[in-house]
Structure 1
Amino acid sequence: MASNQVIKLVINQVPQPQPRPRVTVRGKYAHAYESKKIRTYKKLVAHKYRLEYAQKLPTEKPLSVDVRFYRPIQKSISKIERHRRLTGQSWPTVKPDVDNYVKAILDALNGVAFKDDSQIVVLYARKIYSDNPRTEIEITEM
């Protein structure tokens, strides 16, 4: 990334939160694993980044990350409430939590867009209702 260059990435899929790892115990050993759904989503995010920024090596500079999670609107609401959600008068204060969405995105881009997520010094994240579910990511070198 050139100085202060902004990397923009849009994932045109319903945002997926990072769930707690599942743990199985076999004998005296415990094994933690992720669901297939979240593994597939993270691979999609990393693949999309590699496609659009193939020549970019993972940066080692401090970063600012701005992520917007556009969630689908539930079908069983009134027209008035639907309008409120589409115009930003109503925000998605339901689960999943925004930090779980962020965790999935940062994990997917770790080692791909940046060397390590410890480089992120500024982070903006928000959940928004939309008829077009997606995730928009902007990464800026500080």
Structure 2
Amino acid sequence: METAASEPSVYRITVPGLLRAKGRPRFGNGRTFTDTKTVQAEKHIQRYAMEQIGKPCLTGPLHVSLMINIAPPPSWSRKKTADALAGRILPTSRPDIDNQMKTAADALNGIAWKDDAQIVDARLSRRYGPESMTVIEVRPL
């Protein structure tokens, strides 16, 4: 998919809810496997990706932008919530943003790209927003 100015297309995936961090590998019966919660999180991302962008399975180097919005906790005061939504308070708690990226990158293998090793540029951001969601943008370089 190329635009008239021959700029590469941007593929945008919006995934509702909180993005789970990649779980540590588990070991048993002489093999390594991914924990159930991580598998479910990856399937959640895959479902939305297939609905929104299909299966372009891009090749070559890619730029990925991962923007995570987190809804402020309902227990926060109105002032604290307003400060969070205005960007005066930033989410610095766990899970680590790089582990959240791993979940998204692994989930999109074979869908958005052949392999997440193709990601050569990435922009990660996490902010408070009115609702929890993750927006993933993929652009061929």
Would the TM-score normalized by the shorter structure come out above 0.5? yes
- What's the TM-score, normalizing by structure 2? 0.87
Call closer, same or farther: CA 1:58–1:81 in 2, change over 3 Å. Answer: same
Matched ranges for 1:29-40 at <5 A: 29=30, 31-40=31-40
SS in 2 for 1:126: strand
Aligned residue number for residue 82 of structure 1: 81
2:110 — aligned with what? 111
How many angstroms does 1:75 deviate by? 2.6
Under a length normalisation based on structure 1, what TM-score does the superposition of the two structures give? Answer: 0.86
- Does the aligned pair in 2 maintain the 1:15–1:71 contact within 8 Å? no
Query: Which runs of 5 or more structure 2 residues have no equivalent in the other structure?
Result: none
Q: Given the alignment of the two structures, is residue 9 of structure 1 paired with residue 9 of structure 2, yes or no? A: no
Do the aligned partners of 1:71 and 1:129 also contact (CA within 8 Å) in 2? yes
Root-mean-square deviation (CA), in Å? 1.7
Unaligned stretches of 5+ residues in structure 1: none
Count of residues in Structure 1 that have an aligned counterpart in Structure 2: 137
CA offsets per residue over residues 90-136 of structure 1, 9 Å max, x none?
11011111001100000000121111111111100111112310110
Distance in 1 between residues matched to 2:120 and 2:78, nearest whole Å: 40
